[in-house]
């Protein structure tokens, strides 16, 4: 469809990408100056503190300028590109008709618009306040069943809307061709990936804004009726890691900016240390029987079961017995909030730093499902394609630092969670087994916990149960 072309040059600014982020770094430009872009076409890939995101442009036309080189960090609201709207689409779809231009006939009165009226150059649904709206203050909640207040045709966020009758009974309401009130492109991407029409949703945010929670609820409802299963997003999270190196002095080193993933890690760890009075306990366990059980599972055919999936299954069983550790502290209300579901984070090392993807509803998954989800999230982390929703909302973290060849650690808790289970390397060691000295596969387990949510007895009980399951996997049968 050809859009009107009046020679205007529209400036598209870096939008609010959600999650309270205030800046993003340009990773890769997806268009060049002079390229023709379509409405909603991604024009740049940026890295926030939580994910890599392709940003779509709400205008169609020819790119006339780009702002910022790759590697440049831009604040939200800074210009990204300018687009000569309509030019590219007019070329592709034929000469565009100017608004008001006619063929000699008298102009159509506003109350009786033509059957097919040209739409403005932008989609109107990419970003509230950044898209094609004439005035951000005119944002309104889109209600398909709400009659219009005037008989004249008008605009809503830049979208032309046909007139509706004034007064009298109104028949079955047709959905308005108005803008979809969505701020974050991430919300739109989630809906697009699952073929969800955002116009069918009613937003729960301010002014009817559609939030991730609204999309997730719709996807869960569809899954309950036999539809697709969607990954769910919520909350806020980060990545546990060791403390950053001391800042170099101006005269004897190189300064490395704390930004992106590393900056988010630094902020998260600092906050955790300030707010959480943590403590750590640990125990050695004989993992020989667990390793044999895994070997037997994988020898029976079917998908291979990973060791981390078995450890995760042990974690969820332990949290069911000791729910105090699946909680968070509301400091303002001075309350401990015990959480119903277990959203299990796990540490994953990537080229861009340590991240903590989250396995949603880990308590409801079996070993095969956990294995598949760990593999999917690990691959997404490796290529830098984790979404903010896959990096946030964890309630408990499993840290398998044994992959680095170390036995133990006292990690920093992933705020605002209350505990983290650490697993060291599994190595042959002398061990007394059945009253005799033998070489067994031994692992060190550690639990770092928030002392506000429980005392040492609870933490020790949790860790002892985990160790018992590692040493005798049959213990899990009691809870299956």
- Residues marked active site are found at 451, 455
Alpha-carbon separation of residue 30 from 47, 53, 54, 71, 149 (angstroms): 14, 12, 9, 14, 43
- Tokens matching residue 383: 């290529």
Q: Cis omega before residue 344 (within 30°)?
A: no
Collapsing DSSP states into helix, strand and coil, what is residue 350?
strand
CA distance 452 to 246: 30
- Tokens matching residue 436: 């005799």
Angle at 393 between CA 387 and CA 395, to 5 degrees: 140
Q: What is the number of other CB atoms lying within 10 angstroms of the CB of residue 193?
A: 13
3-state helix, strand, coil in the chain (%, to 5): 30, 20, 50
Angle between helices 288-299 and 307-321 (to 10 degrees): 120
Query: Using an 8 Å Cβ cutoff, are 363 and 319 in contact?
Result: yes
Residues contacting residue 39 through CB under 8 Å, at least 6 positions apart: 57, 58, 59, 60, 121, 122, 123
| 223-257 burial code (b ≥16 CB/10 A, e <16) | eeeeeeebbbbebebbbbbeeeeeeeeeeeeeeee
The candidate with the shortest Cα–Cα distance to 130, out of 189, 84, 88, 184, is 184
CA distance 110 to 151: 9
């Amino acid at each position: 469809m050809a859009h009107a072309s009046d020679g205007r040059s529209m400036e598209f600014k870096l939008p609010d990408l959600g999650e309270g982020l205030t800046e993003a770094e340009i990773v890769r430009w997806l268009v060049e100056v002079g390229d023709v872009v379509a409405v909603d076409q991604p024009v740049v890939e940026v890295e926030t503190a939580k994910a890599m995101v392709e940003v779509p442009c709400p205008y169609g036309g020819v790119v006339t300028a780009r702002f910022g080189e790759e590697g440049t960090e831009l604040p939200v609201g800074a210009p990204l590109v300018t687009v000569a709207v309509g030019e590219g689409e007019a070329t592709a779809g034929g000469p565009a008709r100017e608004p008001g231009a006619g063929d000699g006939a008298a102009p159509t009165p506003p109350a009786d618009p033509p059957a097919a009226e040209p739409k403005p150059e932008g989609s109107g649904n990419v970003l509230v306040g950044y898209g094609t709206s004439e005035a951000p203050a005119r944002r309104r909640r889109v209600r398909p069943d709400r009659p219009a207040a005037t008989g004249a045709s008008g605009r809503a966020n830049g979208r032309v809307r046909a007139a509706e009758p004034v007064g009298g009974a109104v028949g079955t309401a047709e959905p308005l061709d108005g803008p979809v009130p969505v701020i974050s492109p991430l919300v739109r991407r989630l809906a697009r990936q699952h073929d969800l029409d955002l116009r069918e949703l009613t937003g729960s945010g301010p002014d009817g804004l559609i939030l991730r929670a609204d999309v997730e609820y719709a996807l869960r409802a569809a899954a309950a009726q036999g539809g697709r299963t969607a990954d769910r997003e919520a909350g806020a999270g980060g990545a546990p890691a060791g403390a950053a190196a001391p800042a170099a002095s101006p005269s004897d080193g190189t300064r490395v900016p704390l930004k992106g993933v590393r900056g988010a890690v630094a902020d998260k760890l600092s906050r955790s240390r300030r707010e959480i009075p943590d403590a750590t306990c640990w125990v050695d366990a004989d993992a020989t029987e667990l390793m044999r059980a895994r070997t037997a599972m994988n020898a029976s055919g079917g998908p291979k079961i990973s060791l981390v999936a078995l450890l995760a299954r042990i974690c969820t069983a332990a949290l069911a017995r000791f729910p105090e550790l699946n909680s968070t502290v509301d400091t303002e209300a001075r309350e401990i909030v015990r959480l119903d579901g277990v959203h299990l984070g796990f540490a994953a090392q990537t080229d861009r730093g340590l991240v903590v993807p989250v396995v949603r509803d880990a308590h409801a998954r079996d070993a095969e499902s956990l294995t598949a989800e760990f593999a999917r999230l690990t691959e997404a982390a490796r290529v830098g394609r984790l979404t903010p929703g896959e990096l946030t909302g964890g309630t408990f973290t499993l840290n398998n630092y044994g992959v680095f060849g170390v036995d133990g650690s006292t990690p920093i808790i992933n705020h605002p969670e209350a505990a983290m289970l650490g697993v060291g390397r599994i190595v042959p060691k002398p061990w007394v087994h059945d009253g005799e000295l033998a070489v067994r596969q031994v692992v060190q387990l550690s639990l770092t916990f928030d002392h506000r949510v429980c005392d040492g007895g609870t933490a020790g009980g949790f860790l002892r149960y985990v160790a018992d399951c590692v040493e005798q996997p049959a213990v899990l049968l009691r809870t299956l």
